[in-house]
Amino acid sequence: MTCPQGIALVTGASSGIGLEFARQLAARGHALVLVARSTSKLEALAKELQAAHGTVVTVATIDLGLAGGSQKLWDFTESRGLEIEILINNAGIGLYGNHTALDPASVASMLQLNILTLSELCNRYGTAMGQRGKGWILNIASTGAYQPTPYLAAYGASKAYVLNFSEALAMELEDQGVVVSCLSPGPSDTGFFSDIDQRGIAVDTFAKGGRRSARAVAEAGLARLFAGRLSSIDGRMNRLKALSLRLVPRSVVARFSKALMTSKPSI
């Protein structure tokens, strides 16, 4: 499948995997719309990409964890005449802890970002892409989508939604010339797993030395998007672990996940 050369929109572009998506898309020659909450980080990245690649970069400081964020972003691009050909729904957050102890407002914001905003952006930009007869959408899930994960209960459930939603949406839009792909990264060298380090849980599973770099994850995501892959798990070992769980009773998987998420460092 031929790689497009239109404008790419990346959410959560100020750090981690989103930042690497922006760098790699700029290197491919795409103009960019970068979205996050931090104006200073986005502007610094825009200067970097403009200097390195001559990339046209538009910065949108929008909190997509708030209701109405997707409408605000849509209005932003429409008012500037920016026709989005590639949508990278990378923005997402996770909350660790006993679900009943979490702040309800924080959980609502996470679900707004991980589920509702992602769905709304797919609706708005997917509709426009379908009308033009071409477009590419990449949604970022997680290996957490493949099993229940105690102490990351709502986060894991939100990523299971992203996985199933993306695969269904891909079937709906394929006849309109729109490619939808879903990438499920495992432990990656990002801020989310830096927080895991501070908590000291499940070190054998999330050990820093075994994590994929944000750059490698972004490379895999773009390669699979432009190859038209429906969904994929990043990293060979992550694929083996996630897919093998399908052969195990869910009650066993849930108990194993609980033990894993409450284990202490072994080294």
The residues annotated as belonging to the active site are 155, 159
Query: For the residues of 192-220, what is the DSSP string, one character each?
Result: HHHHHHHHT--HHHH-GGGPBPHHHHHHH
Distance CA 31, CA 198 (A): 37
Q: DSSP letter at 224?
A: H
Q: Tell me whether strands 7-11 and 178-184 are parallel, antiparallel or unpaired.
A: unpaired
Distance CA 126, CA 115 (A): 16
- Helices 153-173, 118-132: axis angle to 10 degrees equals 10
From residue 96, how far is each of 88, 157, 181, 256, 263 by CA, in Å?
Answer: 25, 13, 27, 17, 14
Give me 56's structure tokens: 């046209």
Amino acid at 94: G
163 and 231 in contact (C-beta within 8 Å)? yes
From residue 259, how far is each of 151, 239, 256, 263 by CA, in Å?
Answer: 11, 21, 5, 6
Distance CA 90, CA 74 (A): 16
Q: DSSP letter at 114?
A: I
